[in-house]
Amino acid sequence: MAFDSPNDRGPGFGGARETAAAPLVDPFGRAISYLRVSVTDRCDFRCVYCMAEDMTFLPKRDVLSLEELDRLCSAFIARGTRRLRLTGGEPLVRKDIMTLVRSLSRHLQTGALDELTLTTNGSQLARYAAELKDAGVERINVSLDTLDPDRFKAITRWGDFNKVMAGIDAAQAAGIHVKLNAVALKGVNEDEIETMIRFAHGRGMDITLIETMPLGDIDGDRTDQYLPLSVVRARLMDRFTMTDDAHKTGGPARYVRVAETGGRLGFITPMTHNFCESCNRVRVTCTGTLYMCLGQDDAADLRKPLRASESDEALNAAIEEAISRKPKGHDFIIDRRTARPAVARHMSVTGG
């Protein structure tokens, strides 16, 4: 295929450069086994809590090519990454994205990787679900904050609810396990959370509720959106019998089992309960910037060593040095006194 970066070197993903090396362990003894990679900052939605409607996206030359993304992911896998999640923006709007997915699936076949998965808004799933399953993707997360088409349009600005439903149908028909992610938004969807739980569990899907996070400037005030999940959970306990569940997916969610539905419900609570003590994750943006913590600005440029040499020696050195600076935790704050976002970059840049 033809790659899309000025430094493309043609076909031949993988190769001799993939040699085993020492696992990555941060200063607090946490092994880095989970990598989230944004393959694009572009998205076909403009969700109100994620980005402004009038976004300026990165020029193509700044974005890693598919080959560079493969090489970077493979370097992490050689150092102990067992779970790899492709994100965005919306990952399925990246041109030729399935070439990357199919190439990375070789690590599933060798046993070097336990899981290759995606987080998606579902808009392109009807088109790609069968191919994703064929490439070894067994599980995906679909971001869905409402079941009301009009409300969906208001939250996403550009989204088509029916396309997302068709995408979920296609993924389940292909045999992919779907988990829904819903951002809890005060005054927006808080009256719908019970309904969404029953919907998800009725279709055999787990659902995870997420607190909105102070990432990037948006059109509005996040203090108007912020709904503590401690409040949501207390309300749900009036409706459901919930018992702790030890289920883990490698991410920060803590799960309960809902007796009335038989399904699992997750909570991601970066604001009300700091989950950093067990963090095994790092994120790489579509420009090759490694963020050791979602809630900190400290970062490392991996694009420069990627493009400087065919060898991965400099890349590995840059990764090692960055992991040695991984902080103990984030410093998220949402209140009226802290009007500016905790981190200036948008979630679509970092990777959801």
- Binding-site residues for S-adenosyl-L-methionine, please? 49, 89, 143, 213
- Residue 311 burial by Cβ neighbours in a 10 Å radius (0-12, 13-18, 19+): exposed
> With left for phi above 0 and alpha for psi between -120 and 50, is residue 351 left, alpha or beta?
left
Segment holding 242, helix H or strand E: strand 242-245
Residues annotated in the binding site for GTP, as ranges? 36, 85, 119, 179, 281-283
- Residue 191 burial by Cβ neighbours in a 10 Å radius (0-12, 13-18, 19+): exposed
Segment holding 201, helix H or strand E: helix 193-202
For residues 308 and 315, what is the distance between their CA atoms, to the nearest angstrom? Answer: 9
For residues 165 and 314, what is the distance between their CA atoms, to the nearest angstrom? Answer: 44
Contacts of 142 (CB under 8 A, 6+ apart): 119, 120, 121, 122, 125, 164, 167, 168, 171, 178, 179, 180, 181
Residues annotated in the binding site for [4Fe-4S] cluster, as ranges? 43, 47, 50, 276, 279, 293
C-alpha 199: how far from chain center = 23
Percent helix, strand, coil in the chain (nearest 5)? Answer: 30, 20, 50
Q: Name which of 314, 322, 312 is nearest 73 in CA terms.
A: 312
For residues 168 and 263, what is the distance between their CA atoms, to the nearest angstrom? Answer: 17
Q: Name which of 99, 34, 91 is nearest 63 in CA terms.
A: 91
For residues 57 and 41, what is the distance between their CA atoms, to the nearest angstrom? Answer: 7
Residues annotated in the binding site, as ranges? 36, 43, 47, 49-50, 85, 89, 119, 143, 179, 213, 276, 279, 281-283, 293
Reduced to 3 states (helix: H, G, I; strand: E, B; else coil), residue 154 is helix
Let me know how long the chain is. 352
